[in-house]
Structure 1
Amino acid sequence: MDREFIAERQKGLQNYLNVITTNHILSNCELVKKFLDPNNYSANYTEIALQQVSMFFRSEPKWEVVEPLKDIGWRIRKKYFLMKIKNQPKERLVLSWADLGPDKYLSDKDFQCLIKLLPSCLHPYIYRVTFATANESSALLIRMFNEKGTLKDLIYKAKPKDPFLKKYCNPKKIQGLELQQIKTYGRQILEVLKFLHDKGFPYGHLHASNVMLDGDTCRLLDLENSLLGLPSFYRSYFSQFRKINTLESVDVHCFGHLLYEMTYGRPPDSVPVDSFPPAPSMAVVAVLESTLSCEACKNGMPTVSRLLQMPLFSDVLLTTSEKPQFKIPTKLKEALRIAKECTEKRLMEEQKQIHQHRRLTRAQSHHGSEEERKKRKILARKKSKRSAVENSDEHPAKYSNSNNSEHAPF
């Protein structure tokens, strides 16, 4: 075939892939991952999940699978099943299964103990875990199924059971929430983040699909993700900024993404955000600037306590009588602290590598530019002329004799 034709097609394919990989949802899609890296994404995770779930049902016969909830989440290695209890056939629950991620630093024993503690966690803004168990390679949790879905379903007017790509990748209507909803939901989410931070429980997985809606109340989902060591939905964003290097600052940055989505009905085109569109209140913009602006990403995130004091949330009244409860034994708290430090260390190493790669790429781009090539040519000519002049100054007799010899008598 014609070389120019092949080169043109290669360039077109590369441009096409660039567009796909810059879309945050598409870049995490299983089909895209398998196309770009077939060796690391060859396993059939649905089959693996079914095997694990079947083994679980051997010892827990009271549960029964109604149907698989295919691709309702964005994670390739996390699968969902609609469940029922045999003696309560009208009740619907959701089983989630996930294997371990790259940031799993807990010992197998501590990991299994902490997973089994999750049903004991009671908080008005945490979605209750009905049952939780784990082995050395994965975890399985059961929660009540919520027909209303998540905060992201509300924003995108989506059906909870539909596939993730269908629900959120190309919304038909883009519309943010009302100001009072933004204030109330934002305050509730910040309150539960503060609770987890005070407990020393690492989260790092805040996004709109991990917030369940129960009437006018937001309830956080997937506390198990940090124990499993799974990567955050927004990791490709905050790994660019070396000042976002603790799980607390990660939560605050992710809250900025969530607040932007609640306000404008869609995620930001890029981060950091240079300027924000008109918002229902300048108080919203103030919080967004403190979490997503160039200055914030460069200098670091505010604390959750600082965000709670900002005008957008400080006057929100929360009416709940439920007292939070989550008792973590001292030994497990220490294990969590060490695991958190290991996770943060790996994040900082990744940020350092990205920073070094950027510097190298900028240097290569700078030296390879047309302007730089012209400058180098001019400098080379100047250097050549300078060398010629210096040589003539060093050997004047040589040039004088040669000139005189032209007119010397025989």
Structure 2
Amino acid sequence: METEKIFSVIYNFFLRKERDGKKSVEADRMCFLQVIRRYSDFDILNSSLMVCGISLPLPPKKLIGNMDREFIAERQRGLQAYLDSITQHPLICTSLFVKKFLDPNNYSANYTEIALQQVSMFFRSDPKWEVLEPLKDMGWRIRKKYFLIKNKEQPKERFLLSWVSRTPDSSGTPYLSPLLFSSTSESSALLVRPFGERGSLRDQICKVKPKESHLKKYCNPKKSQGLELEQIQLFGRQILESLKLLHDSGLFFGHLHASNVMVDDGVCRLVDVENGMLGVPSVLRPAFTQLRKINTTESIDVFCFGHLLYEMTYGRPPDSVPLDQFPSAPHAAVVSVLQSILSADACKSGMPTVPALIQTPNLTESVLRQIPSRLKEVLKSAKGSLEKRLHEEQRMLHQHRRLTRAQSHYGSEEEKKRRKILARKVKHGAAVFLSPPGSGASSPPTCPSSPTPPPATGTPVSLSL
């Protein structure tokens, strides 16, 4: 009776597993996760996700009759639908709550504690820095933590410290630019930059406080609003000029989105440019990996810019890409640019380049000016590693899709029926072939107009051709 309280929900998805920054044996292959949980576990997960402000389809509790088999089967279907809804949400599926629920063995580490320990070790060599408070869940990355710190020599100023666990794709250099302080070890990196009280561009679009949880800020913002055309043109031009400067130097960004753009006095500044050297994955990687035309770091930056431009225009990121239809907007010129990047035709035939996008009129100058030569060499190496990884993942995804289509076709009712008919024909043909001579049961009927066969004995019959 006790076992009937346990629900086994199987959810199939593509996962690149990493354990403490190292690729696991199961990495880079399709896998099934079998989640065996009680209903109370689902209830705890749902309570943790209530900060999102989104109504999730968790089946209700039932105190009487909850051991009935039909009820258990119905609830299991409801719990599967609940898992589908949270894993298909682009932001909720990145939550540590969800990942621990689905795969607790690989997400058991307390990265906040690990980050605090390593930050303390870093600051022993530079005691002028002091941690004021951890900014819990401010960002979406599980292995990246933020802290509000101060410089003892400037006690009134506040700075943002970010700690990130390094991956196998990271580059081996302690030099990161442009930062107030940076340090790296074999397992992680520590970075200090000025803290913007107004937060990122996404914080300003959603009209939220930057220190709050990213789920609370971005899942269901109540006051989110797109920017005015003048701001879109200004920020768009500055971001494109920054990307062009990187590309002209043979470099890339790869992590462009509204949370990685800081705005101060009308000037955009890109942050987390070091992510390419640290080897951390892009938040949009699941989207552009499925598009085979996006196979270079430059095309990744253009695709990410399209997402960012959509969010600046409509006040929210697109639900999915490619887009067949675009919502009505007051800026027709912006919609035409979005169509050239995010439409189905653009994703199939190719997207415009950054120099082509810069031709939008009435925009201002760039905010980035110089790339150090040492940083240039490191980013070039990281660029090649990222593109190689992208090609491998696209190849794997393409093979998986072909296999899925073949399995679906082979298992269809029409195909099963065709194979049964073919098997009967083969069996009947074999029976005819193996039947003894003179057996009338298996011999085909003789046509009345058939010619008389030649005699078995006597003069041979010659045939003229």
Matched, 1:318 2:384: no
Residue 243 of structure 2 corresponds to 193
Equivalent residue for 2:403, pick from 350, 360, 380? 360
State the Cα distance separating 1:225 from its structure 2 match.
0.8
Residue 165 of structure 2 corresponds to 99
Q: Is the 8 A contact 1:156 1:171 kept in 2?
A: yes
Matched, 1:342 2:408: no
Query: Residues of 2 paired with 1:372 and 1:172: CA distance?
Result: 50
Residue 106 of structure 2 corresponds to 40
SS at match of 2:322: coil
Q: Is the 8 A contact 2:163 2:191 kept in 1?
A: yes
Residues 155-197 of structure 1 show CA distances to partners (whole Å, capped at 9, x for unaligned) of 1111111110000011124432222211111111111111111
Query: Residues of 2 paired with 1:68 and 1:61: CA distance?
Result: 18
The letter for the 2-side match of 1:156 is C
The letter for the 1-side match of 2:92 is L
Q: Is the 8 A contact 1:102 1:230 kept in 2?
A: no
Residue 96 of structure 2 corresponds to 30
State the Cα distance separating 1:326 from its structure 2 match.
2.2
Query: Residues of 2 paired with 1:403 and 1:59: CA distance?
Result: 97
Residues 322-347 of structure 1 show CA distances to partners (whole Å, capped at 9, x for unaligned) of 77122214xx6444323321221111
User: Closer, same or farther in 2 for the Cα pair 1:369/1:171, shift >3 Å?
Assistant: farther
User: Closer, same or farther in 2 for the Cα pair 1:188/1:401, shift >3 Å?
Assistant: closer
SS at match of 1:95: strand
Residue 123 of structure 1 corresponds to none
Q: Is the 8 A contact 2:245 2:368 kept in 1?
A: no
Query: Residues of 2 paired with 1:249 and 1:212: CA distance?
Result: 23
State the Cα distance separating 1:36 from its structure 2 match.
1.1
Residue 282 of structure 2 corresponds to 232
Equivalent residue for 1:9, pick from 61, 75, 78? 75
Q: Is the 8 A contact 1:256 1:288 kept in 2?
A: yes
Q: Is the 8 A contact 2:322 2:344 kept in 1?
A: yes
State the Cα distance separating 1:385 from its structure 2 match.
10
The letter for the 2-side match of 1:86 is K
The letter for the 1-side match of 2:329 is A
Larger Rg: 2
Matched, 1:301 2:301: no
Equivalent residue for 1:74, pick from 128, 140, 149? 140
Residues 7-406 of structure 1 aligned to structure 2 (within 5 Å): 7-104=73-170, 106=171, 108=172, 111-112=173-174, 114-115=175-176, 118-119=177-178, 129-309=179-359, 313=360, 315-318=361-364, 324-329=369-374, 333-377=376-420, 383=425, 387=429, 391=432, 397-399=438-440
Which stretch has the larger CA shift, 279-288 or 163-172? 279-288
The letter for the 2-side match of 1:68 is P
Query: Residues of 2 paired with 1:403 and 1:373: CA distance?
Result: 29
Q: Is the 8 A contact 1:103 1:231 kept in 2?
A: no
Q: Is the 8 A contact 2:205 2:312 kept in 1?
A: yes
Which stretch has the larger CA shift, 204-213 or 78-87? 78-87
The letter for the 2-side match of 1:366 is H
Query: Residues of 2 paired with 1:395 and 1:316: CA distance?
Result: 91
The letter for the 2-side match of 1:69 is L
The letter for the 1-side match of 2:314 is Y
Query: Residues of 2 paired with 1:180 and 1:220: CA distance?
Result: 19
Residue 460 of structure 2 corresponds to none
Give the root-mean-square deviation of aligned CA atoms. 2.7
SS at match of 1:398: coil
Sequence identity percentage = 64
User: Closer, same or farther in 2 for the Cα pair 1:183/1:395, shift >3 Å?
Assistant: farther
Query: Residues of 2 paired with 1:300 and 1:401: CA distance?
Result: 63
Runs of 5+ in structure 2 lacking a partner?
5-67, 446-465
Residue 122 of structure 1 corresponds to none
Which stretch has the larger CA shift, 285-294 or 188-197? 285-294
The letter for the 1-side match of 2:105 is N
Q: Is the 8 A contact 1:92 1:145 kept in 2?
A: yes
User: Closer, same or farther in 2 for the Cα pair 1:401/1:146, shift >3 Å?
Assistant: closer
State the Cα distance separating 1:402 from its structure 2 match.
9.4
The letter for the 2-side match of 1:368 is G
Instruction: State the number of aligned residues.
Output: 378
Q: TM-score, normalised by structure 2?
A: 0.75
The letter for the 2-side match of 1:346 is R
Query: Residues of 2 paired with 1:135 and 1:400: CA distance?
Result: 85
Residues 369-402 of structure 1 show CA distances to partners (whole Å, capped at 9, x for unaligned) of 3444455556666x379849x949x989532899
Query: Residues of 2 paired with 1:401 and 1:376: CA distance?
Result: 24
Q: Is the 8 A contact 1:176 1:264 kept in 2?
A: yes
Query: Residues of 1 paired with 2:353 and 2:182: CA distance?
Result: 31
Q: Is the 8 A contact 2:252 2:301 kept in 1?
A: no
State the Cα distance separating 1:265 from its structure 2 match.
1.3
State the Cα distance separating 1:271 from its structure 2 match.
1.3
Which stretch has the larger CA shift, 22-31 or 5-14? 5-14
Q: Is the 8 A contact 2:279 2:382 kept in 1?
A: no
User: Closer, same or farther in 2 for the Cα pair 1:86/1:333, shift >3 Å?
Assistant: closer
Residues 239-287 of structure 1 show CA distances to partners (whole Å, capped at 9, x for unaligned) of 1112212111111111111111111111212111111111223322222
Q: 1 or 2, which has the higher helix percentage? A: 1
Q: Which has the higher contact order (CA 8 A, sep 6+)?
A: 1
Residues 12-71 of structure 1 show CA distances to partners (whole Å, capped at 9, x for unaligned) of 222211111111111111111111111111111001100111112211111111111111
The letter for the 1-side match of 2:401 is R
Query: Residues of 2 paired with 1:184 and 1:373: CA distance?
Result: 60
